[in-house]
Structure 1
């Protein structure tokens, strides 16, 4: 039986490090937003104006999806991304981990598009913390896709000869 991990090429060294760092940063911001949501705190450390207003965004009807706070969904997303972007996972996990990472990011980018649309079209305000998460998600997606594009070809398996 062939070991799937042995047939994969490697990604450039900066990809696992960068993707992991971005995932951790997204996790920290999402954890902060989730904490603020569940404590009902209004100390979002966000400048308030008519356009930039974290309180308006995070308490709007658009701040929940299927009854779950968007911040919690973001937290769960980044927990998964931290695990999927561990350098060991990039190096040693089966190809299914790569596909899962890409699929999760596709969903994440679609979700970010939906949230940006809601902020501009319905809420009429943006949240700087949310924008940071959106940017991190987009940059993370670019890093991961580049990692897959730049992945070195897998080494050819050794041919065995039978006499």
Structure 2
């Protein structure tokens, strides 16, 4: 379930989502009007300066209207140490890039990502770096599914 702290409805435009980890950050991108997420890349660095430089480059390239961060919770919905790290990461994103940041419950997104890759014939050894980007895609798709874009004024009403 999405946990929104920034917007009740998504803004129009590109949205970047992050599956934050201590070593790697998976990144996905989507367009809020289309409501469809795609895995983008994995930032593979533990150094904050390198991470935020890579994120700045992605923000420059995609010009997102907002950001989404996966929020890890225990299976019973409780917060833990990694939850607090993800909230801190989201706060840093908001402060550095002056963009709205929403959080999405990411429970089991990495397990689902590994399963999707396995179902597509990618073995675990080759999938290691890709799992995080697919997990970010799952996080962003969950966000889009919970926050559908308003109907376009060009779309005829259904009766």
TM-score above 0.5: no
Larger % of strand: which? 2
Q: Could you tell me the TM-score, scaled by structure 2's length?
A: 0.27
